Amino acid sequence: MKNAQPTPIEAGRAYTVKSLVKALNILEALAEGEGSVYTLTQLSRLLRLNISTVHRLLTNLLAHGFVEEAPGGRGYQLSFRMLRIGLGVLKRLDFRRVAEPLLWELNQQTKERVHMAILHEMRAIVIESNGSAQPAGLDVRVGEALPLHSSSVGKILLAYQKAGVLSEVARKVGFQRFTPKTITNIANLKKELDRIREQGYALDQEETVEGLSAVAGPVFDHTGRVIAASGVAGPGTRLTPSRLPEIARLVCSTSQQISFRLGYGGR
């Protein structure tokens, strides 16, 4: 009997292709960095790699269409081929098709930007975003990674995790202070998560970005597991304390409707 071939994960534990890892780190830096365009020198400093190494890897990434040069020779950016790859991941999230018309309706009701996020690698990853365009720094875009401890969708995803996840997030990621209102103490965050489970929605009142407020609710699947969070975000001048209860009601209603269409039978 022939020996079974190791899975890619098992094989990855046995050996690592260092140049491949470095190339993937470049793609990740271009995708998640504060800027969308990086020069050779900036990437070298950010990744702590020799400039010649970064240049060699970029040459290969350019040749295979994963990276392209920004107009005007300003540096390097991800290509549309990477967008197609990302869209391929989104296509397998079937619940997005169920949620899309309900999120659009929520946008029409609130006239604010509506978004949906899932939990991935201890961050809330935005998989849907549409509606009112916000000023620079206040927008919530598809693919954006939001912190679990301060964003409304992140808090929802964190609130419904099994015991021990909060401590793991504290140990591996930590609770960065983004604004004076950010909760950075684990005891206070536990109280916040208890309140979220009790009331059924989460608030971000300028805790992630100054001037930005948001409300989110949980999306359950047929097993009762929270698989996503849907929310509304906008300037704090529009999402005022007097308006937040109504926004929360609409967000909860939308989240419940999505959950019911996914087979959830709870309250």
Partners of 202 in the β-ladder: 216
CATH number for the domain including 186?
3.30.450.40
- pLDDT value at position 97? 84
Q: 171 and 48, same structural domain? A: no
Looking at 79, 101, 134, which one is the last position of a domain? 79
Residue 72: give its domain's CATH number: 1.10.10.10
What's the confidence (pLDDT) of residue 93?
A: 57
Per-residue tens of pLDDT for the chain, all 267 residues: 455 555 554 555 556 688 889 998 998 888 877 777 899 899 999 899 999 999 999 999 999 999 999 888 888 998 888 877 776 666 665 778 889 999 999 999 999 999 999 999 899 999 999 876 555 456 678 888 999 999 999 999 999 998 899 999 999 999 999 999 999 999 999 999 999 999 999 999 999 999 999 999 999 988 899 999 999 999 999 999 999 999 999 999 999 999 998 888 776
188 and 219 inside one domain: yes
Over residues 46-93, the pLDDT tens digits come to 899 999 999 999 999 999 999 999 888 888 998 888 877 776 666 665
Same-domain pairing of 32 and 110: no
Domain stops at, among 31, 55, 79: 79
pLDDT of residue 170: 93
**In terms of domains, do 26 and 148 share one?**
no
Shared-domain flag, residues 63 and 140: no
Same domain, 133 and 242: yes
In-domain check, residue 53: yes
Residue 146: Cβ within 10 Å count:
26
- 147 found inside a domain: yes
Instruction: Report how many domains make up the chain.
Output: 2
Residues 29 and 104 in one domain: no
Position 2 in a domain? no
> Cα–Cα distance between 226 and 259 in angstroms, integer?
9
Q: Are residues 183 and 105 in the same domain?
A: yes
Are 119 and 218 in the same domain?
A: yes
Residues 196, 103 share a domain: yes
Burial class (CB within 10 angstroms; exposed 0-12, middle 13-18, buried 19+) of 83 = exposed
152 and 69 share one domain: no
Residue 86 lies in a domain: no
Q: Is 84 part of a structural domain of the chain?
A: no
Percentage, residues of the chain above pLDDT 90: 60
Are residues 114 and 162 both part of a single domain?
yes
The residue range of the domain holding 52 is 8-79
